[in-house]
Amino acid sequence: MSEKKPSRPPMDHVEFRKIGKETVDYIADYLETVQTRPVYPGVQPGYLRRLIPAEAPQDPETWEDVFADVERVIMPGVTHWHSPDFHAYFAPGNSYPSQLGDMLCNALGCVGFSWAASPACTELETVVLDWLGKMLQLPEHLLAGTAGAGGGVIQGTASEAILVALLSARTKVIQREREADPESSDHDVMKKLVAYSSDQAHSCVDKAAMIAAVKLRKLPTDSDFALRGTTLSAAMEEDKANGLIPFFSCATLGTTPSCAFDKLLEIGPVCCEENMWLHIDAAYAGSAFICPEYRPLLDGVEFADSFNLNPHKWLRVNFDCSTMWVRNRADVVDAFNVDPLYLRHDNQGLVTDYRHWQIPLGRRFRSLKLWFVLRMFGVKGLQQYIRKHVSLAKEFESLVLSDDRFEVSAKVVMGLVCFRLKGPNNLSERLLQKINETRKIFMVPAKLRDTYVIRFAICAATTESSDIVHAWNIIREQADEILTGVKNGI
Ligand code: PLP
């Protein structure tokens, strides 16, 4: 460590201007050259503890000392999500307008739990969610600037959006059941509640049901991994016959394992008929609905009580930004309204207080980055980005189909291709392990029923056709080695 000790606060305005600009340069250099780094780190668990002291320093350190540790300590353990060689999970959002929005959000540092806590924070969020809602052609009743009772909110993650929807639905059904039977208690109702999703839904639906202490039935899907209306209604009839109360259904548009689309136009009417809350989780694929050619996949959204998508996945917005719309804001506010004196203000009741729409009290000014992105890309720029990702996925699909040792395991609709080596699962398991060990590209697997598949997701904003060819060459080389080994009995 250097001997220099700053005697004043760690950084004043003058130093911040200089160092801040240098840090922006470092960030731009990092993103510009990210592909020169191995996409997956080569470190072992616990690597970091050995590189830094066991305790925080008593005396201040200099920025030079701190910043040097970014390359020494941090970078060796970073998985480079924005590298064109990253093909795991789903696309992570990133763009400079979004990063600037987050910088400004941090600088303003307001904690916009109520309108009064920072009016711009609340008002921009409401308006920008209407903008995005209109880009998605959402029904008017989900928007705030209409005569309807709905509106949009930014949650941190899809997991939170789904939990908020589930808890709101639970509160609503408990009220309804207790009005019908005033002798009953919350507990009497809760133990009968049952929620539904497909067996392809994200694990955050299981987690939400766990937290809400309600049963969740994960229903089987059709040959395209989509939940059908008949499956849902048969399950509900069975549960009702057993004295249970179906109250919530989560449909997924763009499932995590294979990007499948539940049949909303079948599920919607079933939920409506049963007076059951319908939530739509379109965490990844939802962004694509800004393109008219993909919008039909959202048909049936008019049946939904709530809907979420993650601009922090596929709309150039950095984590965290999960947009959620609800049909009736009172349903959410009823479930989350606590109102101590110290949080009240003069305009209470006349304006939106987003603290009643979410689990935590505090909230960041996240709409700034979304606003910057929508304005600086424009709808056309964002459509172009989505279309490019889908066409790169189609290109990869063609390469897989051109090699008869491989098969494509699910329909390719968006920027995800599920593929595998023909034959037993362990071949594809070994293939993925060998590929990831090269640290040249990074992918993750999924199970589609009993079939092990490798997920190839188009992730980085800078991915080009040459990166698809590069990835395919690595996959083929590793497959050659495995299949030669199998032939030779190794
Ligand atoms: N739903 C779907 C369909 C997803 O693919 C994911 C994550 O990939 C989630 C929910 C969870 O997202 P989050 O990390 O925003 O909670």
Q: How far apart are CA 96 and CA 104, in angstroms?
A: 12
Cα-based distances in Å from 64 to 41, 67, 118, 180, 271: 24, 5, 36, 68, 59
pLDDT exceeding 70 applies to what percent of the chain?
97
AA identity, residue 250: C
| Banded pLDDT at 485 (limits 50, 70, 90) | confident
Query: In sequence order, which residues have a C-beta less than 8 Å from that of residue 287 and are 6 or more positions away?
Result: 309, 310, 311, 313, 314, 315, 382, 386
Q: Is the CB of 118 under 6 A from ligand 1?
A: no
Q: Looking up tokens 């329909």, which residue turns up?
A: 411
For ligand 1, atom 5, the nearest C-alpha belongs to: 256
- Asked if residues 290 and 390 have their Cβ atoms less than 8 Å apart, the reply is no
pLDDT tens-digit profile of 309-338? 999 999 999 999 999 999 999 899 888 777
More confident residue, 335 or 92: 92
Q: Which two tokens stand for residue 203?
A: 């694990």
Residue range 48-74: mean pLDDT, rounded: 96
What's the gap in Å between 283 CA and the centre of ligand 1?
5
Q: How far is the CA of 54 from the centre of ligand 1 (A)?
A: 35
Atom of ligand 1 nearest to the CA of 312: 15
State the average pLDDT over residues 110-129.
93
Both tokens assigned to 149: 């009772």
- Quickly tell me which residue has 């600086």 as its tokens: 376
259 alpha-carbon distance from chain centroid: 13
Residue-wise pLDDT for 62-73, tens only, equals: 999 999 999 999
Residue 160 has pLDDT above 80, yes or no: yes
Confidence grade of residue 416 (pLDDT, cut at 50, 70, 90)? very high
| Pocket lining: 190 vs ligand 1, CB cutoff 6 Å | no
**Ligand 1 touching residue 283 (CB < 6 A):** yes
CA pair distance 77, 53, nearest whole angstrom: 17
Query: Does residue 314 line the site of ligand 1, with CB under 6 A?
Result: no
The average pLDDT across 381-392 equals: 98
The pLDDT, as a whole number, for residue 478 is: 96
Pocket-testing residue among 81, 90, 202, ligand 1, by greatest number of atoms within 8 A of Cβ: 202
CA separation for the pair 35, 175 (Å, rounded): 55
Whether the predicted pLDDT of 34 surpasses 70 = yes
* Six token digits for residue 184: 């009953």
Q: Whose alpha carbon is nearest atom 14 of ligand 1?
A: 157
Assess whether the C-beta atom of 320 lies below 6 angstroms from ligand 1: no
Please give the distance, rounded to the nearest whole angstrom, from the Cα atom of residue 104 to the centre of ligand 1. 26
Kindly tell me if the per-residue pLDDT of 148 is higher than 90: no
Which atom of ligand 1 has the smallest separation from the CA of 90?
A: 8
**What's residue 7's pLDDT?**
60
What are residue 397's DSSP bridge partners?
none
CA-wise closest residue to 457 among 32, 34, 201, 85: 85
Question: In the 8-state DSSP scheme, what is residue 377?
Answer: H
Give the mean pLDDT of 369-381: 98
Q: Given this model, what pLDDT does residue 6 score?
A: 52
Return the best residue to mutate from 162, 203, 204 for the ligand 1 pocket (most ligand atoms within 8 A of CB).
Answer: 204
Could you identify the atom of ligand 1 that is nearest to the CA of residue 256?
A: 5
- Residue 320 alpha carbon, nearest atom of ligand 1: 15
Q: Which residue has the tokens 């921009």?
A: 124
pLDDT band at residue 445 under the 50/70/90 scheme: very high
Lowest mean pLDDT among 96-100, 328-332, 462-466: 328-332
The fraction of the chain above a pLDDT of 90, given in percent, is: 89
Report the atom number in ligand 1 closest to the C-alpha of 160: 16
**What pLDDT score was predicted for residue 463?**
97
C-alpha–C-alpha distance, residues 307 and 301, integer Å: 8
- Give the Cα separation of 145 and 58 in Å (integer): 53
Find out whether the beta carbon of 208 lies less than 6 Å from any atom of ligand 1.
no
Q: What residues are paired with 454 via a beta bridge?
A: 419, 445
For tokens 């059951």, what's the residue? Answer: 276
Contact 290, 321 (CB under 8 A): no
Nearest-10 crossing angle of helices 229-241, 264-273: 30
Distance 206 CA to ligand 1 centre (A): 12
Q: How confident is the model at residue 489 (pLDDT cuts 50, 70, 90)?
A: confident
Distance CA 279, CA 288 (A): 18
Query: Residue 189, Cβ neighbours under 10 Å: how many?
Result: 20
Whole-number Å distance between alpha carbons of 326 and 335: 13
Mean pLDDT across 95-104: 98
What letter would DSSP give residue 73?
A: I
Mean predicted confidence (pLDDT) in 453-462: 97
Task: Quote the CA–CA distance of 103 and 463 in Å, as a whole number.
Answer: 25
User: Is any atom of ligand 1 closer than 6 Å to the C-beta of 284?
Assistant: yes
Of 240-254, 349-363, 398-412, the range with the lowest mean pLDDT is 349-363
- Contact present, 281 and 267 (Cβ < 8 Å): no
| CB 281 less than 6 A from any atom of ligand 1 | yes
Split at pLDDT 50, 70, 90, the class of 3 is low
Angstrom distance (rounded) from CA 137 to CA 132? 9
Residue 252 has pLDDT above 70, yes or no: yes
pLDDT exceeds cutoff 90 at 142: yes
